[in-house]
Chain A
Amino acid sequence: MRIELNGQHKELDGPATVAQLLLTLGLERAPCAVEVNAQLVRKALHHTHALAEGDRVEVVTLVGGG
């Protein structure tokens, strides 16, 4: 299954939830927020939100800024 992850194409082995994607990325414990197709997916829903072919996923964190 192909998704767009932070602006880059990414191939996933099979169906995956947001939580499984974060696990693959090693970010399951990192403070981050996830958007799928420009809609926030709250942390409580990461385990149930299934990704679909062509989904645009953004995984963001906090960085230095003014």
Chain B
Amino acid sequence: MLEAANAEYLMSTHQPTINARTAPVSPALPPLRIGSFTLTSRLVVGTGKYRDYTTMQAAIEASGADCVTVAVRRERLVDAEGRSILDFLPLERLTILPNTAGCFTAEDAVRVSRLGREILEQLGNPGAGWVKLEVLGDRTTLLPDPVGTLEACKELVKDGFTVLCYSSDDPIIAARLRDAGAASVMPAGSPIGSGRGIANPAAIRMVIDRLKLAEQGGSAEYPVIVDAGVGTASDIVHAMELGADGVLLNTGIAHAQDPVRMAHAMRLALDAGWHTARAGRIPRKLYANASSPWEGVITHIPGE
């Protein structure tokens, strides 16, 4: 049911058949377009929860990401070290995506979005033009508040933001956010930081179909990014196999025992999932189907 090999949005980004003898080990994927933004990598990584800034730097490098998320927080007015995360991010080649994490009302999310934009404008980073909108329901689940998210999305679009909406895995609210002007809808695989991967693959598939299939009022070009819940590389493969355009994660890399190696694995997984989704997997069958010919066997076959 969930095999998506024939969906038009996958075929629309189908690349010519790869010549295995001449192709590089991992042929470059087409860039990810979100509104007026273009990202080389379809993996977007967070910058939170790392044990230190040096590890974060190396992990971002290994992930191949050219976009990273950050949060807006009170300046610590008596910080002895005085070190800023900005000193550890190569701002000249990264697009910063500020989030509204920690916001539980539309009003707060709009405030925080404007504060993030103000800082990125000072830094001259293109990320000043967009925001990862999160309006959360409560601290325990960190699941999106769909009503607050929709309200904030409308307000931010009116204010000129390119809005990337963190959403639950519900196709109806996803379409409402798209209709409200969200440049991308980003359904949660599972709760933030849970590492449970794609908890409801059928729901994610319905979100993707709703936003991308013409017969459901979607458009193949509309970017859908699976955000949150990724615990390991196979979760990324899974998301991409379901037809996602990209994946956003943080904890799965930052809290791995070896974050840099995990970042490398996540990068490979994204490529693997992308190609798998377009290669047309075999149907699942209950019983076996021999790979070696029956013709010419010299053995006794039970029951024959």
Contact = CB atoms under 8 A, between A and B. Distances in A.
B56 A62 contact: no
Given A59-B75, A64-B85, A66-B251, A40 B115 contact: yes
11 contacts: A42-B118, A43-B118, A59-B75, A61-B75, A62-B71, A62-B72, A64-B47, A65-B48, A65-B70, A66-B46, A66-B193
Contacts, number: 104
A59 B84 CA distance: 14
Interface string B119-132: 11111000000000
B282 interface: no
A27 B75 contact: yes
B115 A60 contact: yes
Given A31-B86, A66-B250, A58 B119 contact: no
B176 interface: no
B74 interface: yes
A35 B114 CA distance: 10
Q: Which label, helix, strand, loop or mixed, suits the secondary structure of the B interface? A: mixed
Given A43-B121, A64-B70, 7 more contacts: A31-B122, A42-B118, A60-B74, A61-B119, A62-B96, A63-B71, A65-B99
Interface string B128-139: 000000000000
Interface string A27-52: 10011110100101011000000000
A65 to B, nearest CB: 3
Contact of B84 (A6, A33, A61, A66): A61
A42 B228 CA distance: 32
Nearest to B100: A65
Interface string B87-117: 0000000001011010000000001001110
Interface in B159-194: 192-193
B77 interface: yes
Contacts of A63: 48, 70-73, 85
Contact of B77 (A35, A59, A64): A59
Contacts of B48: 63-66
Contact of A40 (B49, B56, B114, B248): B114
B253 to A, nearest CB: 10
A33 B115 contact: yes
B70 A7 contact: no
B101 A35 contact: no
A43 B251 CA distance: 33
Contacts of A6: 74-75, 77
Contacts of B116: 33, 62
A40 B77 CA distance: 19
